[in-house]
Amino acid sequence: MTITWFQAAMLGIMSMLAASTIACLGTTVGNYTLNRPLIASLFVGLIMGDVKGCIQIAIPMQVIYIALVTPGGTVAADLRAVSYIGIPLAYVTAKSQGLDLGGAEAAGIAGAMGALVGTVGTVQFYGTAVMNLIWQHIGWAELDKGNFKILTAVETWMPIISHLVISFIPVMLINRFGSQAVYTFREALPMDSWYMKALFTVGSMLPAVGMGILLNSVVTKPTDLIYFIFGFTIARSMGLTLIAATCVAAVFALINFQMKMNALEAKKGGAVAVDDEEEDI
């Protein structure tokens, strides 16, 4: 099984629409919808002709990249490559090896493939940001002349040129030629070799990095980790599902909010009382 030129081109177009922070379709629809691996798998599945299989492949990848925060415009890994190169290539690899797409082996391949192509996405992110400098500088020059219409051009069709060069063409080529190379993988990579064992072991560790990133965005002081451990315990030891755990967490959040508000009220009340006394005098 390989990826045809037409399929590769379609994947290239999707990668433009979804390209991380600088997506053609904007932040909410592009970056935070189409760029997420789970959502991308539906579109990759439609292109590849196997929606179910692509979703199964994408689930372990989505877990790894569950929280991709891009503070100050620096990216850890740009998901466009994970979603629109990683998913199709992992799918073709798993399929050509006859693996169960929902099984642990396929999940290992998916995780490793995502980590491998994630760096391609990082290069694409910085490449697009650099190329956009051209359009912004045209914009500044035209604005000085009083041409306001240039803003619409700079914000709409001009960045699409960056995407064609930096997203569309590389994603299409990697998908087209990468999928032919995966055939030889199976002979070259026996499952009982140390490197394949290491590949699958790291595949099981990568989600921990994703959770570490996520934890970093919500933890400010070491005692916050107790809430993390609490959540871990209710899910693992007590077997609560994610939605059930959210309900339990919501109770604690509400109690915390009411305590904070009470403290504020007390402070205000005290201040008012003091004022009253002063007036009496």
Partner 1 sequence: MAEKKVTKATLNKSFWRWFYGNLTCFTQEHMQTFGYMWSMLPIIQELYSDKAEQQEKLRTYSPFFNTEPQIGSIVVGITAGLEEARANGAGDIDDEMINGIRAGLMGPLAGIGDSLIVGTYIPILLGIALGFSNGGSVAGILFYIIVWNATSIWFQRTIYMKGYELGGNAVEVIVGDRATALRESAVLLGQVIVGAMSASWVNITTSLRFGEVSLQNNLDGAFPGVVTMLFVLLCWYLMSKKKMSAVKVMGLMLLIAIVGVLIGVFDPGLSYE
Query: Cα–chain-centroid distance for residue 8?
Result: 21
Q: CB-wise, 195 or 278, nearer to partner 1?
A: 195
Per the CB < 8 A criterion, the answer to whether 152 and 144 are in contact is no
Q: CB-wise, 2 or 76, nearer to partner 1?
A: 76
DSSP conformation class of 26: I
Asked if 119 touches partner 1 (CB under 8 A), the answer is yes
Expressed in percent and rounded to 5, the helix, strand and coil fractions of the chain are: 80, 0, 20
Interface mask toward partner 1 for 194-233; x: CB under 8 A: xx-xxxxxx-xxxxxx-xxxxxxxxxx---xx-xxxxxxx
Q: CB-wise, 8 or 55, nearer to partner 1?
A: 55
User: 144 by DSSP, 3-state: which?
Assistant: helix
Residues from 40 through 99 that contact partner 1 (CB under 8 A):
41-42, 51-53, 55-56, 59, 62-63, 66-73, 76-77, 97-99
**Stretch binding partner 1 (CB under 8 A), from 6-14, 150-158, 168-176, 272-280:** 150-158
The per-residue DSSP string of 28-91 comes to: IIIIIIITSHHHHHHHHHHHHT-HHHHHHHHHHHHHHTS----GGG--S--HHHIIIIIHHHHH
Asked if 127 touches partner 1 (CB under 8 A), the answer is no
Q: CB-wise, 4 or 193, nearer to partner 1?
A: 193
Report, in Å, the least distance between residue 211 CB and partner 1: 4
Asked if 260 touches partner 1 (CB under 8 A), the answer is yes
Q: What is the maximum alpha-carbon separation in the chain?
A: 93
Question: Which of residues 14, 17, 24, 182 is near partner 1 by CB under 8 A?
Answer: 24
Cα gap 90→4, rounded to integer Å = 16
Residues from 152 through 191 that contact partner 1 (CB under 8 A):
152, 154-156, 158-159, 186, 191
Compute how many residues bind partner 1; rule: CB under 8 A.
122
Question: Which of residues 173, 254, 272, 274 is near partner 1 by CB under 8 A?
Answer: 254
**Stretch binding partner 1 (CB under 8 A), from 10-18, 169-177, 252-260, 271-279:** 252-260
Output the six-digit token pair for 118: 């994630």
Nearest to 207 by CA among 111, 113, 101: 111
Asked if 115 touches partner 1 (CB under 8 A), the answer is yes
Report, in Å, the least distance between residue 253 CB and partner 1: 4
CA atoms 38, 39, 43, 45: torsion sign: positive
Nearest to 48 by CA among 80, 86, 10: 10
Output the six-digit token pair for 61: 């990848």
**Stretch binding partner 1 (CB under 8 A), from 10-18, 83-91, 167-175, 237-245:** 237-245
Cα gap 245→250, rounded to integer Å = 9
**Stretch binding partner 1 (CB under 8 A), from 5-13, 84-92, 166-174, 193-201:** 193-201
Asked if 101 touches partner 1 (CB under 8 A), the answer is yes
